[in-house]
Structure 1
Amino acid sequence: MARVYNFSAGPAMLPESVLQQACDEMLDWRGSGMCVAEMSHRGKEYMSIAAEAEADLRELLNVPNNYKVLFLQGGASSQFAAVPMNLLRGGSSADYINTGSWSKKAISEARHYCSNVNVAATTEESKFTRAPVPAEIQLSGDAAYLHYTPNETIEGVEFAYIPETGGCPLVADMSSTLLSRPIDISRFGLIYAGAQKNIGPAGLTIVIVREDLIGMPIAGTPTMFDYKIHADNDSMYNTPATYAWYLAGLVFKWLKDLGGLDAMAIINQRKAALLYNAIDSSSFYANPVQPTDRSWMNVPFTLANPALDDAFLKGAKAANLTTLKGHRSVGGMRASIYNAMPEAGVAALVEFMREFERTQG
């Protein structure tokens, strides 16, 4: 059976060449006589894999020397708690921007640890169909950090700018956007991202944190949530997600071979433009997000007649276009077009959409 174009929001597609390399190395990684999944994380073979992956990620993102790169477990959702545990540093207040489902979850978790969570801006009144403009962000002045979600996976809303914080550390949940384009790491105090969208398989979480922000966790912080413990142990205080880390390293190599994040950004812009143009040029499809704030990665859209949703999904699956059903809280359709989604996949979706409109519209 031919491989499908998988538009899932995560776990998502991986580059085919990465999967092929992992397949070739499955029984014997470089003469070791072992699969990577069987290796001790303390062995010299695996230590070389981990070190090379970190070096490649640092190169791709141009991570400054005063930042730690951590390869953790627990998903991005565990970071909703780990961030306040580590970054309050004697304070009790934090600022959060609310732009959708994942922002709301981060805010809810932070309230367990902060006596004051200031919602510095929210777009809930618009049903999360836009990002706030800079003037709408009202910082509290005594916050330990400002947290935001640059790309909301469910609503398909993306910030076109990096918020200014006046020196307050900026924290970003980049689960659905990290590695999709270049970013200036120095603008952030901490970035975290679940791997299962642009980085690798589920089970791995990346944290990039400025060194001066770690080492003062709140009392009672579990050892496994203490960034300094992980930093001091090269992310190997316990057994890490070894195979996911290895596959992420292969993805980093793939990105470098492609030309790095500058090249990836151009490809991602083309893919998003192709899909949005198909939606906007039709009265049969619609995207609810303000055009200036549309996501490159997650494209929700609705059909003019929702009664046709099931037929659309059935026809798409027959055309090898899968996982297009929108999140239950939003409805409609959602096409997630992360790095590993080839341009041919987006073109195939657009072709199907036009043919479905011709026959059903």
Structure 2
Amino acid sequence: MTNRAYNFNAGPAALPLEVLQQAQEQFVDYHGAGMSIMEMSHRSAAYEQVNNETQALLREMYGISDNYHVLFLQGGASTQFAMFPMNLLAPDRVGAYVMTGSWADKALKEGKLIGETAIAASSEADEYRRIPALSDIVIPERAAYVHITSNETIEGTQFQAFPDTKDVPLIADMSSDILSRPVDINKFGMIYAGAQKNLGPSGVTVVIIRKDLAESSPKTLPTMLRYDTHAKNNSLYNTPPSFSVFMVNLVLKWIQSKGGVEQVAELNRAKTNLIYNAIDQSGGFYKGFAHTDSRSMMNVTFRIHSEELEKQFVKESEQQGFVGLKGHRSVGGLRASTYNAVTHESCQALASFMADFQKRNG
């Protein structure tokens, strides 16, 4: 087999090699059916079993109670930015947003198209280098929900703990850190996540929504944009992204084989700390972008004092088999995305490369 790249892409991102090999084995002939899962009717018993099992695995892994629907939708988190306010933001209510970076800003912009919004807290004055203190979050009167982005992939910041919003539903975009650590689902009214960072390939969006919120969808909305449509039809109202759901199924089983979310969180901490240590022990050659107490365990963002050296770092890293280390165009710098499927070996290799690059250019 050809050598695998050290894949630090921000998304679509690394998938576990074992999962890819398993999918390869079943790609042409799914369990003796004489066809691929992609060729099957989504009304077939075989696909319905995959759909139901994937929901059950997610429920088991995250301790999701019967009080929540688990939905498999399409359109990515970007569609959810508009869909949840369409469903939950009544004309006399306010959508509250915690501003933590680029993705929180996109969610707010879509919310403004739907109804009245307010900023509950913001770290914009600090260039989004930190997550606002939970005590700084001010929930407005008439709030329909409080929206957070649990992990900002571009700035490399992450909520270390979640706010208690009392009776106001807490909604979280967890696209980039879902299943990377344990989460108390009962704190949330709704969680949504594009699969392409920690859960599987692009194409499916997971929505975990409290039943009372799903059932309050306005009947004036187009059918496909109502949560109750998908809840009533077990995510099979229209043709689902069947292969993506199948891949999520395999990834969930892979997480299970690693000891579940708690064990995966420990692995994530260990491997990401290799890179943070390389930054912190560089004597200032590398500088982390995020404040230490807001650092993401999924996206390590850092700079070198010279943009020329940053370009050289990217060029040399690519020559040595590293992929995806250039920072997002909106903030520049460097970024290593260390999602669940990124191996400890890859992070160790990057830390070694960073030390060598500093030695030659420091």
**Coarse TM-score class (shorter-chain normalised):** over 0.9
1:231 aligns with 2:231: yes
Name the residue aligned to 2:164.
164
Match of 1:109 in 2: 110
Look up the match of 2:186: 186
Q: CA deviation at 1:106?
A: 0.4
**Which residue does 1:265 correspond to in 2?**
265
- 1:91 Cα shift? 3.9
2:329 alignment partner AA = R
The answer to whether the 8 Å contact 1:90/1:218 transfers is no
TM-score (norm 1): 0.98
C-alpha contact 1:67 1:211 (8 A) present in aligned 2:
yes
Aligned to 1:42: 43
What does the per-residue CA deviation read over 1:68-112, in whole Å, with 9 as the maximum and x for residues that have no partner? Answer: 000000000100111111122564311110000000010010011
1:274 aligns with 2:282: no
Misfit runs of 4+, over 3 Å:
none
2:92 & 2:17 partners in 1: Cα distance? 47
Mean Cα deviation higher: 301-310 or 41-50: 301-310
- Alpha-carbon distance, 1:161 to partner: 1.1
> Secondary structure at the residue paired with 2:147?
strand
Structure 2 contact 134–162 (Cα < 8 Å) conserved:
no
Aligned equivalents of 2:239 and 2:345: distance in 1? Answer: 38
Distance across 2 between alignment mates of 1:216 and 1:187: 19
Taking every aligned residue pair, what percent have the same amino acid on both sides?
47
Unaligned runs of 5+ in 2: none
Matches of 1:183 and 1:240, distance apart in 2:
27
Contact kept in structure 1, 2:203 and 2:244, CA below 8 Å: yes
Q: Which residue of 2 aligns with 1:254?
A: 254
Q: What pairs up with 1:1-361 in 2 under 5 angstroms?
A: 1-89=2-90, 91-114=92-115, 116-218=116-218, 220-282=220-282, 283-361=284-362
Q: Is the 8 A contact 2:6 2:322 kept in 1?
A: yes
- RMSD value, Cα: 1.1
SS at match of 1:120: strand
Distance 1:196 1:214 in 2: 24
Q: Output the CA distance in 2 between the equivalents of 1:332 and 1:64.
A: 42
- Output the amino acid matched with 1:3: R
Distance 2:72 2:92 in 1: 27
Q: Deviations over 1:151-181 (max 9, x none)?
A: 1110001111111212111000000010001
- Other structure's SS at 1:144 match: strand
Letter in 1 for 2:196: Q
Amino acid at match of 1:127: E
CA distances 1:171-217 after superposition (whole Å, capped 9, x unpaired): 00000010001110001000000000000001110000000112333
1:300 partner SS: strand
Alignment check: 8 A CA contact 1:91 1:143 kept: no
What is the distance in 2 between the residues matched to 1:333 and 1:313? 8
Alpha-carbon deviations, 1:239-289, whole Å to 9, x = none?
A: 000000000000000001110001000001111211111101112111121
Instruction: Return the TM-score normalized by structure 2.
Output: 0.97
